[in-house]
Amino acid sequence: MVIMVEPSAERIGRWIDAYVPNKDLFFLREEHLIKLEMHLNDVLIFPSKEFFRHSSYNQIQFVNSFEYWKIDKEIQYVLVANPNWLCSLSSEMQKWINHIQRTVHRGLILPTSLLPTPYTFPEEHLVKDQGEEYVVLHSKLWSKLPYKVKLDLLKGHAKKWDDWNGYALDDSIPSHLQRYANTFPAEGGGNCLAATLFAVSQQEWILNEWVHPETFVEGLKRAHYVMRDTEELRTGDVVVWMDANDIVQHASYHMGQDLFFNKDGQTFFNPWKVIDWKTLKLEWARYTYKVYRKEILT
């Protein structure tokens, strides 16, 4: 039976606290820095290559909130500022910077249409693109917004990541999966590979790890899972999707009855969800899948 999967009030509260980092990042080209020349004494300016290698700014919440993977590859600098820097500029300058952030596809820019009731944002934080109005979020603005506005923005935004439809569980599902299936994480980081290794190992702490492909394959090996030349699925099997270079792109755990314990992506907007085999195959059809099965040791 298909059910609605919805984050709890406690989960959304955690999201609200974490979603907008307490440092502002601005992604710029060299010509933008020239225009800002008189306002750069109180900021750090990173060449983009150095920034994206920097351990402090590769923390998962920075990556997820600012959506690094979408940012224009032509940006040359990243300006890191304290929350008071932007509002120290003129309204005209603030609006110009916010418009640039939209054009380079930075995260933390949400359509105001997500709100069921209109809210009056500061004009300098609003940008328009192809007829749609967006609010460009920064630390200080976020801290001043009413809780209900934050709640509505994040609930609306979360639905862009997942349709919130899952399958109900029955008593045959192992207890460690029942606790997490059809729920949302409180923090970002855990991806599909972590969710699958958790299902296999029952080690809860793995759920919030950002597991990479080689680590995942090693985990399957340690759990005595081996690849089988079969398309027949059994309860407890792991299905792994690989690209043309045999690099793991996705994995999911078969709970039986063609239902899987699954997670798409590493943000806290991606739930641990029960999904059916037909949907899963369709979503990952561009890759080749392999079935891994636990060996029976004698």
Domains within the chain, CATH numbers bracketed: 2-158 (no CATH), 166-294 (3.90.1720)
Give the list of residues 6+ apart from residue 271 with CB closer than 8 angstroms, or none. Answer: 5, 7, 162, 164, 166, 182, 183, 184, 185, 263
**Alpha-carbon distance values, 231 to 71, 133, 181, 288, 292 (Å):** 39, 48, 25, 12, 10
- Whether residue 230 contacts residue 207, with contact meaning beta carbons closer than 8 Å, is answered with no
> CA 188 to CA 192: how far, in whole Å?
12
**Where does the chain have alpha helices with state H?**
9-19, 30-35, 48-53, 60-66, 91-103, 139-144, 147-158, 175-178, 192-201, 213-222, 277-283
Residue 163 confidence (pLDDT): 87
Residue 298 confidence (pLDDT): 57
pLDDT in tens, the chain (298 residues): 889 999 998 999 999 999 999 999 999 999 999 999 999 999 999 999 999 999 999 999 999 999 999 999 999 999 999 999 999 999 999 999 999 999 999 999 999 999 999 999 999 999 999 999 999 999 999 999 999 999 999 999 999 998 888 999 888 888 899 999 999 999 899 999 999 999 999 999 999 999 999 999 999 999 999 999 888 999 999 999 999 999 999 999 999 999 999 999 999 999 999 999 999 999 999 999 999 999 876 5
Residue 279 confidence (pLDDT): 94
Which residue's structure tokens are 């603005």?
A: 141
Residue 150 confidence (pLDDT): 97
Give the tokens for residue 6: 């919805």
Residue 173 confidence (pLDDT): 85
- Whether residue 69 contacts residue 39, with contact meaning beta carbons closer than 8 Å, is answered with no
User: How much is the pTM?
Assistant: 0.89
Residue 1 confidence (pLDDT): 85
- Whether residue 241 contacts residue 264, with contact meaning beta carbons closer than 8 Å, is answered with no
> CA 260 to CA 276: how far, in whole Å?
6
> CA 201 to CA 205: how far, in whole Å?
10
DSSP-assigned states of every residue in 182-196:
TB--SSS---HHHHH
How many Cα neighbours within 13 Å face the side chain of 259? Answer: 20
Residue 64 confidence (pLDDT): 95
Give the tokens for residue 51: 């920034």
Give the list of residues 6+ apart from residue 224 with CB closer than 8 angstroms, or none. Answer: 294, 295, 297
3-state secondary structure of 7: coil
Residue 170 confidence (pLDDT): 83
**Alpha-carbon distance values, 136 to 26, 95, 101, 162 (Å):** 11, 9, 8, 22
